[in-house]
């Protein structure tokens, strides 16, 4: 998140590990913009804050040409800010998965091509029986998966057309903020065939200015899960090959 308050610190840490594969997490909602309010007045308030309403933002992006022009300028500014870090661009995605929006994805593809875009995260999370404990949970997970399916299919079609790599599946969407050791083990033990991205939000303590929607996230449990010895043993037991988007053919 190149426009986030702690971006400079994150960049300095990433530079300490030349082999670390870093992606650009575009922020187009619920966060700070790179461009100032006068340049994108239809996207942010006078504090350079994006709207927190993804539905309203999505409709405005789709129907209003002036909003699309401002969106393109902001996306370009964030790509440019990432380029200036000197880090290699491994992949791109968007906060709150806003790149599911066809217009947003089109802009990412067209602008990203100028900055070496080679891979994009696709948020398709098919339900895993190992994570389902009751019928209500079954219905929730399947409903979300089916609701997003048309958008995900459209994403994959566009990315293939432009020879942009993408993952087959993703895990961490439905359980975002609660990817503790037990959940992570269940996922790793039942991964489908193909390339799966598993994402978490590790942190010790409570981040400042946390997104209201993420205030209840168990950040520390996710951090502890990632470094737990059981994770390494599970990866070895099921012959899981660790990779980044940049490792793909």
How is residue 217 annotated by DSSP? -
Q: Are both 104 and 144 inside the same structural domain?
A: no
Q: Are both 244 and 130 inside the same structural domain?
A: yes
Report yes or no: 183 and 175 within 8 Å, Cβ to Cβ.
yes
Torsion of CA 142, 148, 153, 158, to 10 degrees: -160
- Best CA proximity match to 190, nearest among 145, 130, 126: 130
- Strand 196-198, strand 169-171: pairing: parallel
Q: Are both 41 and 113 inside the same structural domain?
A: yes
| Domain hosting residue 199, numbered range | 125-249
pLDDT in tens, the chain (249 residues): 999 999 999 999 999 998 899 999 999 999 999 999 999 999 999 999 999 999 999 999 999 999 999 999 999 999 999 999 999 999 999 999 999 999 999 999 999 999 999 999 999 999 999 999 999 999 999 999 999 999 999 999 999 999 999 999 999 999 999 999 999 999 999 999 999 999 999 988 766 777 777 788 999 999 999 999 999 999 999 999 999 888 876
Match 């030349």 to its residue by tokens: 18
Predicted local distance difference test score (pLDDT) of residue 178: 95
Report yes or no: 202 and 21 within 8 Å, Cβ to Cβ.
no
Predicted local distance difference test score (pLDDT) of residue 212: 72
Predicted local distance difference test score (pLDDT) of residue 70: 98
Boundary-marking domain end, from 69, 85, 117 = 117
Q: Are both 166 and 232 inside the same structural domain?
A: yes
| Per-residue model confidence as pLDDT tens digits over 78-123 | 999 999 999 999 999 999 999 999 999 999 999 999 999 999 999 9
Predicted local distance difference test score (pLDDT) of residue 59: 95
Helix, coil or strand: residue 100: helix
Q: Are both 84 and 160 inside the same structural domain?
A: no
Predicted local distance difference test score (pLDDT) of residue 207: 67
Q: Are both 43 and 80 inside the same structural domain?
A: yes
Boundary-marking domain end, from 100, 117, 134 = 117
Report yes or no: 32 and 49 within 8 Å, Cβ to Cβ.
yes
Q: Are both 240 and 141 inside the same structural domain?
A: yes
Q: Are both 50 and 132 inside the same structural domain?
A: no
Boundary-marking domain end, from 117, 142, 173 = 117
Question: Helices 102-112 and 65-85: crossing angle, nearest 10°?
Answer: 40
Q: Residue 92 has which token pair?
A: 């791109």
CATH number (domain holding residue 78): 3.20.20.370
Q: Are both 144 and 165 inside the same structural domain?
A: yes
Torsion of CA 122, 87, 48, 44, to 10 degrees: -30
Which parts of the chain fold into alpha helices (H)? 7-14, 54-63, 65-85, 102-112, 135-161, 181-188, 219-226, 229-237
Count: domains in the chain: 2
Q: Are both 113 and 129 inside the same structural domain?
A: no
| Per-residue model confidence as pLDDT tens digits over 17-37 | 988 999 999 999 999 999 999
Contacts of 99 (CB under 8 A, 6+ apart): 26, 92, 93, 105, 108, 120, 121, 155
Q: Residue 47 has which token pair?
A: 């504090």
Q: Are both 35 and 146 inside the same structural domain?
A: no
Q: Are both 188 and 204 inside the same structural domain?
A: yes
End-to-end, the C-alpha distance of the chain in Å comes to: 26
């Amino acid at each position: 998140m190149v426009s986030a308050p702690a971006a400079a610190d994150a960049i300095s840490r990433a530079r300490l590990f030349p082999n670390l594969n870093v992606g650009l997490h575009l922020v187009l909602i619920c966060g700070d913009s790179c461009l100032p309010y006068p340049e994108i007045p239809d996207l942010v308030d006078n504090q350079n804050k994006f709207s927190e309403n993804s539905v309203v933002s999505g409709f405005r992006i789709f129907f209003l040409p002036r909003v699309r022009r401002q969106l393109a300028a902001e996306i370009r500014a964030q790509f440019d800010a990432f380029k200036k870090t000197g880090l290699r661009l491994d992949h791109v995605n968007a906060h709150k998965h806003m790149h599911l929006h066809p217009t947003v994805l089109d802009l990412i593809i067209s602008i990203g091509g100028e900055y070496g875009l080679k891979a994009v995260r696709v948020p398709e999370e098919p339900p895993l029986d190992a994570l389902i404990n009751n019928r209500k949970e079954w219905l929730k997970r399947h409903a979300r998966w089916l609701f997003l399916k048309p958008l995900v299919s459209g994403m994959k079609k566009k990315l293939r057309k432009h020879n942009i790599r993408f993952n087959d599946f993703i895990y961490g969407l439905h359980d975002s903020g609660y990817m503790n050791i037990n959940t992570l083990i269940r996922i790793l033990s039942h991964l489908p065939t193909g390339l799966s991205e598993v994402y978490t939000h590790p942190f010790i303590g409570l981040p400042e200015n946390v997104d209201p929607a993420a205030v209840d996230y168990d950040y520390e449990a996710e951090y502890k899960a990632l470094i737990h010895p059981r994770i390494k043993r599970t990866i070895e037991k099921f012959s899981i090959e660790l990779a980044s988007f940049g490792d793909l053919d």
